[in-house]
Amino acid sequence: MDRNNRQFYNRQHFHQASEHENCRSHNPHDPRRAACSRCSAHVTQNERVRRFTREKRDQRQRALHQQHEQAQSLRDRSAIAARATRSIPILLRVTADESEESSTLDSSSTSRSSSSMSDVLSKRSKRKRRSAHKSRSGIRGRLDVHKVVRQYPVGAQFHGFTVQRSELVTELDLAAILLKHDDTGCKYLHLARNDTDNVFATLFRTIPEDSTGAPHILEHYVLNGSEKYPIRDALLKMMTRSVYSFMNAFTADDFTLYPFSTTNAKDFKNLQSVYLDGIFRPLLKELDFMQEGWRLEPLKPDDPSNSEYVLKGIVLNEMKGVYSDSFGVMRRKTKMALYPSGPYGHEAGGDPLKIPDLSWEGTKSFYKRNYHPSNAKLFSYGDMPLKDHLEFMKHYLNKFQNKKVPAPRTITEEPRWTEPRELTVYYQENPQSKEGNKAAVAVTYALTPIKNDFENFSLKILSELLVAGPNAPFYKCLQESHLGTGMLSFSGYEGLGNEPYFLIGKFE
């Protein structure tokens, strides 16, 4: 390139460079600047992107504004429809005594209001419909405990039951309904609460007459076949077919309890049917009594003539295990020594040495005297409707309408002692005991009869503060005295019916 051409190129390149440095792309805030020829294509592309972004932003703003207007319109029309709906019951009450034509007119206006309201349901109303659909399909909606109290006023009757008390327990957010069966006198307590884990329990006052273990054997016996479910071990079979959260049966010193719980409504009805049919309609076969209670069985079933016979039975073997615990024997013997003349002087679970004295006929006789609705209490808890429970119960309680109601059994108070007594209990050594066979000593006080539940509960709390834990006064004093190596686990207050006692003891 010659000299002149080189100078022209340099001047042109310099002009383009200076023009680009001063163009709008480098000075976006200066309106006097213009785009240069060098970056015109780049500026055009940027403008296209910015224009597209502005269009999208405007489109979103218009859509949001339209949705806001629609939502506001729906709220306004829903409020109008709600006011119209609230006025419908008043119109119907006013026109209840009018002519048939006016009633027809009111019903047509009601249908128009309902249809208009259904057309303008908000999202909240749709959620309520979905919740109702879930309730029909087994998932229950939220329970209004205030409404439950209003539904069951005192004196109201439902399926043969009369409401005696109806209260709202605000501290626990539940409604407590106490009912009584008109024909049998059976009492029913229902606690309605927003809890899907529903509970049902049947309790009988089974006061033992001796130590043969009739209450304990019956607890096993009644659930071994009923009129509707003639099968053995009904609870055992339900464990593989149910989605229960709890299922069992208990025998205490003066009552027998049959509780279960589940979160599924269908499963609740199945378990309720199995329990109630077994309790009120048992078969009570002799063979089942021999299995659950006691029987003589040869050690060699293949050669019974040349074999020794031993006592066997589910309850018998269970109580043998209970009486193999030395401290358990001490606790039971102490209780029986405190109240020797009353029912607490007997072993409700059964003494292994006296269980063979119970006969099949004696067990059935004990059932007839105690397993009657007049001697029972029913309990339910959860969010399932109480009316469904009452309707289900009437099918079992109606069979007792024409039967004679037995006299209620009572527990007589134990005569007060005039001086202390001393008891020595011997037990058989247990070679399988890890801690060895140790001696123990305890001091027990028979307290005055307590019939107030609140006082009983308060004494239980006081006992825990005095005895339970390493910081409790009794625990610290006994440990520091070095009179033994440990405190008896059953030390403390025991509310035994109306005859409570307090025990404190240690072992070597």
Please state the domain extents for the chain: 1-35, 40-121, 145-400, 440-507
Q: Which residue did the predictor score with more confidence, 56 or 492? A: 492
CA angle, residues 41, 46, 51, in degrees to nearest 5: 125
Q: Which of these, 497, 505, 504, 451, lies nearest to 344 by C-alpha position?
A: 497
Please give the structure tokens belonging to residue 425. 């209990």
User: What are the pLDDT digits (tens) for 236-266?
Assistant: 999 999 999 999 999 999 999 999 999 999 9
Mean confidence (pLDDT) of the chain: 80
Q: Would you state the structure tokens that stand for residue 88, as one six-digit string?
A: 């419908």
**So what's the pLDDT on residue 98?**
37
Catalytic residue among 98, 227, 292, 414: 292
How many whole angstroms separate alpha carbon 51 and alpha carbon 49? 5
User: Hey, CA dihedral for 428, 429, 430, 431, is it positive or negative?
Assistant: negative
219 is catalytic: yes
Contact criterion met (CB below 8 Å) for 234 and 224? yes
Average the pLDDT over each of 8-17, 98-107, 140-149, 227-236 and give the range with the smallest value.
Answer: 98-107
Calculate what percentage of the chain has a pLDDT beyond 90. Answer: 48
Among the listed residues 219, 347, 494, 499, the single catalytic one is 219
- Provide the pLDDT for residue 304: 84
The segment with the largest mean pLDDT, out of 23-27, 275-279, 298-302, 304-308, is 275-279
Which H helix or E strand runs over 460?
helix 453-467
Confidence of residue 191 (pLDDT cuts 50, 70, 90): very high
Please check whether residue 493 is in contact with residue 460, taking contact to mean a CB–CB distance below 8 angstroms: yes
Confidence of residue 439 (pLDDT cuts 50, 70, 90): confident
pTM: 0.70
* Residue range 86-106: mean pLDDT, rounded: 37
Cβ-Cβ contacts under 8 Å for 412 (sequence gap 6 or more): 341, 342
pLDDT band at 121 (very low <50, low <70, confident <90, very high): very low
pLDDT digits (tens, 9 = 90+) for 357-372: 999 999 999 999 999 9
Query: How far, in Å, are 218, 223, 251 from residue 257 at the CA level?
Result: 11, 13, 6
Distance CA 192, CA 177 (A): 8
d(C-alpha 336, C-alpha 338), whole Å:
6
pLDDT value, residue 93? 35
Q: Which CATH architecture has domain 145-400?
A: 2-Layer Sandwich (3.30)
Residue-level pLDDT at 27 = 55
- Determine the Cα–Cα distance for residues 96 and 102; give it in Å rounded to an integer: 9
pLDDT for position 21: 56
Model pLDDT, residue 262: 97
What Rg do the C-alpha atoms of the chain give, in angstroms? 40
Backbone angles phi, psi at 478, to 5 degrees: -70, -35
- Higher-confidence position of 501 and 486: 501
Tokens encoding 370 = 């105690």
Is a pLDDT exceeding 90 seen at residue 141?
no
- Structure tokens that stand for 28 in this block: 């976006």
- Region 104-114 average pLDDT: 40
Q: Which residue has the higher pLDDT, 294 or 327?
A: 294
What confidence score (pLDDT) does residue 114 get? Answer: 43
Q: How far is Cα 322 from Cα 314, in angstroms, rounded to an integer?
A: 13
